[in-house]
Structures are given as C-alpha cells and as structure tokens.
Structure 1
Amino acid sequence: MSKVFAKRLFDGESWLTNQQVTLSGNVIESIMTVEVPSADAQSVDVLAPGFIDVHVNGGGGALFNHTPTLAALQRMVEVHAQYGTVAMMPTLISDDYEIMSQAHQTVCQALTENMGGILGLHYEGPYLNPVRKGVHNESKLRKPTEGKLADLLDVCRLSKLMVTLAPEQVPEDFIEWLTAEGAIVCIGHSAATYDQARQAVESGAKGFTHLFNAMTPLVSREPGVVGAALQTDKPTWCGLIADGHHVHPATMRVAIAAKGCEHMLLVTDAIQSVGSDEKEMAFLGKKVLRSNGRVTTEDGTLAGSDLDMATAVRNTVSLIGRTEAEALQMASLRPAEFLGIDKEFGRIKVGYRGSLVALTDDFFVEATWIDGQKVWG
C-alpha cells in the first residue's frame, strides 16, 4: 500500500486540492481531502491520470521492429514511464509476416504475464498506400491475406489490437471483418477520397492515425481523408503528434475547433531516440538523424518522432492554447475512451487502476505509478 498527497489533483474531469490517494494492489483504494497528509505519503504538486500512448514504436534505443522481444517492450515501458506514460500500444511499422508474427507472439506473452504498461499491439500497416507511405518501406507494403492475418489476431482475445490501414487498399468487406474479430481499425497512410474514407467509417473504422500526416488533405472541392476525419456525426478519434514539426500549431487549433478535444488523442509516434542520447541511428534499413526535436531520414523524411507524452501535453497548452485539463484528457481519458478501457484508466477514482503521474506545476514528470507500483521518480 502507498499514499500520495497532491496539492492539486486532476481526477480526469475536475481539479481538486489537497487530496490524498491511497493505492492498494493495482488499484486506487481511497481518495480523501486532507489538510495534513499522512507521514508516509509522498507529497507532489500535481497528480493526474497516467498517460496512454496508442502509437509508440520504440524508446531508449529499442525499436520494436528491430527487436520484437519482451526485453524491448520492457525497455519501452521503462523509458516512457519517465515521461508519464503508464500504458501503451507498442506499434509495429509495416514489415514482413515473420516479424509481425514475432511481435504478435511477444505481445501475447506480455499480456498473458500481465506485463505492466502493455495494453496490446498496433499494426501500422502493411496494408497501406505506397503513394502515402511516408517512411514505411514500400517493399513491405502489400494487400491482405486473411488466412495469415487471422493468425495474428489473438491479441484481440487477450486485450486490444489496432490496425492502421488504407481503406482503398483492402477488399470491400475487410474492415467489417476486422472489427468483427475485435480489432480497432484506423485509417492512415491513405490516398482515399472523402467518400472512401467515409465508407470505411461506416464499415467500422473508428480512428485516424497521425491526423494530417500521410493522408489526402482537406481542400476546397476534395475533402479527402482529413475532411472525413473532422466530421462529427460518427464517433471517431484522431491522433495528433503535437511536436510542432508534424503539424503546424494553427492547423491543430483548426482541427480541434472542428472536431472537439473530446475526440482528439495525443500520440507520440516515438522511435528509439526518446530516452536515448543517440544522434544517428538505424531505422528499418535506413539511417535516421536526430536534431532539434525531429528525427528524419537523410532526405528529410520524418521518421516517426522524438516526442514524449509529457512534452506533448505541455505543447498542447503552450502551442495549441488548450487548457491544462483538456491537454491531460487528450493524453489519458480520451485514449482510454478510444480503446474502450475508460472504466479502468483515464480517471483518478476508487477502483480504477493505480496508474498515475505526478507533475511539477509546469508539467514536468516527477514520478510515475503503473498498476499501483511506483516505477519512476
């Protein structure tokens, strides 16, 4: 059992002051207002629900594609916990079936062993459009083979599986089949028309991977994937890489004005540079350069990001102009709602997971708890 006293506590909905939270096992046992904290309580400036990153490729020198192992997952969890992430969807960039299978087996093992911080698996590809491939290796992109893919869906039975795909690259009933199997389908790396993207949503797609990046833009007579993403008649969510490099702050402000904060998720798309001192690194057979908060190939193509969730939260306030509460929700409650785990994560509430982040008043991470255990700080 451990106790945390927060001068300010954000419970996922509201701000409270002078709150003492008791963690027991992997859950929150009690929350109470106190004038004087218990002698055994850790005092912090700000306590908030821990961050949930649904799009993270690596960290601390480990890229999941390069080493789809339990050790790599553990390294990613340890590194991103320093930045307030308590739960993640490790992401596999388009790769061969053998690598997909290894990643699938690894994540299934992690889930079976209840590895803290791992929620499931995110396949970003390989069913993407080469026209919008970004840094993905075109030789790895392909059309789906249901027999092989069916062998990679066990994660759905254990926890959460996301699949990012280009709807124009898959058979007509493919999205319906995937969602029926339990997968969360997201649209990304796509040259789809507005109508194609809307049809994908009608078929069950509920997310848009790194909004504005690697998708058809919103223009006057062709709304494109972006136009479909910003519609509000269907409950869809958009991932935002709020590093100031992937999307201009003004563009993010316009998108949030159209869609609303409640359907925006902060994501990192982080590669192995986060939590590492490396300036040059291998990335899917290419060399990647890290400079001024960006990671790019030698020709200047963005290769994921060098972003962490705490920085994304701060940027949402400073660059986009949202409130602290909105930024924290976009980092925790909104991804929890998107994944359907908001009865466990995204709030500081009795019975919820004890997965919390302690922050300074200027939102730098002081400590992180995953499932009731202090893992950093």
Structure 2
Amino acid sequence: MVRLHCPLLFDGECIIANATMQTAAGRIARIGARDDGVGIAFPAGHIVAPGLIDIQVNGGGGVLFNDTPDRATVRRIAAAHARAGTTALLPTFITDAPHGLDAAIDAVRASLAAGDPGILGIHLEGPFLQARRRGIHREDFIAHLAEDDVRRVIALRDAGRTLVTLAPECVAPQHIRALVAGGAIVFAGHTEAPYAGMLDAVARDGVSGVTHLFNAMSQLGPREAGVLGYALLHADLWAGLILDGHHVKRESFEIAWRLRGRNRTILVSDAMSPAGSTQTHFVLQGREISVQGGRCVAEDGTLAGAAITLSDAVRIGIREYGMQASDALYCATRAPARLLGVQAERGCLQAGAHADLIVFDADFQVAAVMQSGRWINAGPAIAPLLELDDAV
C-alpha cells in the first residue's frame, strides 16, 4: 500500500486541494480528504494527475515506429514517453509500404499479447490519404483502400483499439463503414473534403473525429467551410490538437477553443524520434529532418511531426496558449480515455483505476511518474521522498 498526500489533485474532471490517495496492487484503492496517516507528502504547488494518454506517437527515445516496426521498438517508444508522464499511448505508423503496415500491426498485436505497459492499440495515419494534403507523407506510398485492406487494418480486433486517419474523399463510403463496423475509430486527416463531404462522412459513414486540427485539411473560406469549418462548428466531433507552439498559432487555438471547448478536444504530441531523447536530427523515409526550437522540419521547411512529449504539450498549452490547468489536463487524460473507451480505468484518479499518475511541479515540469503502481521516474525534489518510504 502506498499513501500519497497531494496538495493538488486532478481527478479527471477538476482539481481538488488537499487530498490523500492510496494505491495497492497496481490500482488506486482510495481517494479522500487529506489525512494524517504516514505517507509521501508532495511539496506545496505540486499537482498529481492521471497518467497522460497520447493517441498520436510516431516515435520517441531516438527511434521511429516506421523505421523498425517491431515489438522492441514499440516498447522503447512507450518507455521513453512513460518517463515523461505518458503512461498509455497509441504507437502511430504513418504512410508506408504495405509490408510495413502489416509489420506494424503485428508488432502492436505482439506487444498487447505480452502485456507491455502502456500500449492501448495502434494509430494508422495513412496510407489512405489525399496526396495534395500529404505533408511529410511520401506520395508514392499513398494508396486507395480496398476490401482486403479493410481486413488488414482491423486485424487487432478486440486485442486493442485501432485509430485510422484517412481522407474521406479518397475512400469509398462502404469501406469507411466497414472499418467502423470492424471496431476501428476513423478520423479524417490529410484531406481536402468539402464541408458537405465531411457531413456525409460523419452522419452516414461513421467518421468520428479529425487528426491534428488546422493542419493538413481543407480550410475555412468565404464560400466553402471545409473540414476545418465542420470541426469548429461541431463540438461533438473529436479533434486532435498539437500544441507545440508551431503547428497552431494561439489566435487560431482561441477560436477553436471558444467554439469547441474541452469535451472532445484531445491534446496530442505527434512525437517523432527526438521526443524523450537528445536527438537533434533524424531521417524519415529518406528525408533529413532537423529539430528547430522544438519542431521537426525537413529541408524545405515542411513540418514533420514534433519533438515534444504530451507533458510538454500540457505545459505549453497552459503557459503559451492560456489554457486553464484543469482543461489542459482533461484534454490529455479524460478526453482520450473516453475516445478509446477506457475511461473507467485510465485518464482518471478514482478507486479501481490503474495506478498511473504524473506529478507536476508548480511550473508544470514533470516531477515524478508512476505506472501500474510503480515509480518509473522521479526528479530531485521527489526522489528523496520516495527513498524514505518503505512502501515504494
């Protein structure tokens, strides 16, 4: 049994002052008002929150999922992000050759079967995209979705969640419906779909969200609202959002926030291999990518994901975009848990949930991380407290 005395605690909905939490056997046993029992007392200003959940993670710890799509890579990426507070994630495989897609699905299936910590499923961002909105994705790998592809994409079935990003205008409606019927969550992304096309894709076919709002999608204009306009007007649509200071300007974020709020807005990292590492350059499918001020860019200036972790996005959202702490945390915990259908056990601090948590200091830097009831990271302010507690 581990007892934690928390000056501030975000339970998945709101921030509570002066709470005590107990964990046992990798689960949360109890949360209540602060008591005087023996335990770990975090310093003033520290906030304890559920472990973060990232639905778009291309890499981390110096490796990319696309480079070597196997279980070892999945584990290394997950471990790097876990140390930064992301205790659950979807490894993300971007547009690539068909054999790479199969290997990625097999790797995640193997990781899920082995019970590797933090793996909830897979995000397939492509290859069924609009070439004109491909961004960093290789055009020669972009493909049309066929019936055989549907069976491959949903191969995880009940083993884990499958999120698919596709361009609705490039995929037959019956194939989108087949993905959804097979258990996949389908988001629109890298798309030039018009507003009316997006309306059909959602109401008729089951598309339920958009990938990296504002980026790689048809924009809002005077005579055509596009995918962006649809997402801004329909707050019941899920929307991933990269708040790294580069992908979205603060003014654009404020417009989206006023229209959408936090309910179905999900912070994502879109992390590449430098996240959680000291790497400053890497190669993505033959293209040299460099890290410049926290963003990843190709030689021609094309954005190629981000170098942040989700805890960075939370801090940047609060410090640079003006988010309330409870809202930023909600969008990185409770919202993605609801999307993935794991809200009873993850993305919240309540009795019975996984003992996954992140401790932030007053500046929203990561001070400590617990995953499945085990401390996996602790900074200098917290480590001595853990060493003194016999239960840890």
TM-score range, shorter chain: over 0.9
Q: Is the 8 A contact 2:84 2:276 kept in 1?
A: no
Does 1:185 find its partner at 2:181? no
Q: TM-score scaled to structure 1, two decimals?
A: 0.96
Question: Alpha-carbon deviation of 1:143?
Answer: 0.1
TM-fit CA distance, 1:344? 1.2
2:118 maps to 117
Sequence identity of aligned pairs in percent?
37
Shift of 1:34: 2.8
* Aligned counterpart, 1:222: 224
Deviation digits for residues 286-310 of structure 1 (CA, Å, limit 9, x no counterpart): 1101111111011110001112111
| Amino acid of the structure 2 residue aligned with 1:336 | A
Residue-pair matches, total: 375
Q: What is the deviation of 1:57?
A: 0.2
In structure 1, what is the equivalent of residue 385 of structure 2?
none
**For 1:268 and 1:47, how far apart are their aligned partners in 2?**
20
Aligned residue for 2:355?
354
Contact 1:280 1:288 in 2 (8 A): yes
| 1:185-217 Cα deviation digits (max 9, x unpaired) | 000000111111111111111110000100000
Counterpart residue identity of residue 226, structure 1: L
| CA distance in structure 2 between the partners assigned to 1:54 and 1:154 by the alignment | 18
Superposed CA deviations along residues 227-253 of structure 1, whole A, max 9, x for unmatched, are 1112237x3111110011011111011
Q: How do 1:78-89 residues align onto structure 2 when only pairs under 5 Å count?
A: 78-89=79-90
Segment drifting more, 179-188 vs 251-260: 251-260
Secondary structure of 2:305 counterpart: coil
The equivalent residue for 2:214 is 212
CA contact (8 A) 1:217 1:226 kept: yes
What is residue 16 of structure 2 aligned with on the other side?
16
Task: Report the 3-state secondary structure (helix = DSSP H, G, I; strand = E; otherwise coil) of the residue aligned with 2:318.
Answer: helix
- Tell me the residue number matched to 2:78: 77
RMSD over equivalenced CA pairs, Å: 1.4
- Aligned counterparts of 1:229 and 1:318: Cα–Cα separation in 2: 25
Cα separation, 2, equivalents of 1:201 and 1:148: 21
Matched with 1:138 is 139
Please tell me the residue identity of whatever aligns with 2:213. Answer: L
CA distance in 1, matches of 2:294, 2:82: 19
Aligned amino acid, residue 247 of structure 1: V
Residues 175, 279 of structure 1: alpha-carbon distance in 2 compared, 3 angstrom cutoff: same
- In structure 2, relative to structure 1, the CA distance for the partners of 1:42 and 1:155 (3 Å cut) is farther
The TM-score normalised by the length of structure 2 is 0.93
Kept in 2, the 8 Å contact 1:78–1:375? The answer is no
1:108-141 deviation per Cα after TM superposition (whole angstroms, max 9, x unaligned): 1111111111110000000000000000000110
Counterparts of residues 25-64 of structure 1 (less than 5 Å): 25-39=25-39, 41=40, 43=42, 45-64=46-65
More moved, 26-35 vs 47-56: 26-35
Query: What is the distance in 2 between the residues matched to 1:107 and 1:26?
Result: 23
**2:5 alignment partner in structure 1:** 5
Aligned residues of 2:150 and 2:175 also touching (Cα < 8 A): no
Aligned mates of 1:298, 1:190 — CA distance in 2: 23
Aligned equivalents of 2:283, 2:37: Cα separation in 1:
49
CA distance in 2, matches of 1:179, 1:373: 36
SS at match of 1:205: coil
Equivalents in 2 of 1:257, 1:210: separation in Å?
17
Name structure 1 gaps, 5 residues minimum: none
What letter corresponds to residue 123 of structure 2 in structure 1? H
Post-superposition shift, 1:341? 1.3
Q: 1:156 and 1:353 mapped to 2: Cα distance? A: 23
TM-superposed deviation, 1:280? 1.7
Preserved CA contact (<8 Å) 2:23 2:30: yes
Tell whether 2:265 aligns with 1:264: yes
Counterpart Cα distance in 2 of 1:29 and 1:179: 36
Q: Distance in 2 between matches of 1:206 and 1:68?
A: 27
Aligned partner of residue 254 in structure 1, secondary structure: helix
CA distance in 1, matches of 2:231, 2:128: 19
After superposing on structure 2, the runs of 4+ consecutive aligned residues of structure 1 that deviate more than 3 Å are: none
Residue by residue, what CA displacement relative to the aligned partner does 1:260-290 show, whole Å, maximum 9, x if unpaired?
1212110010000112222221111111011
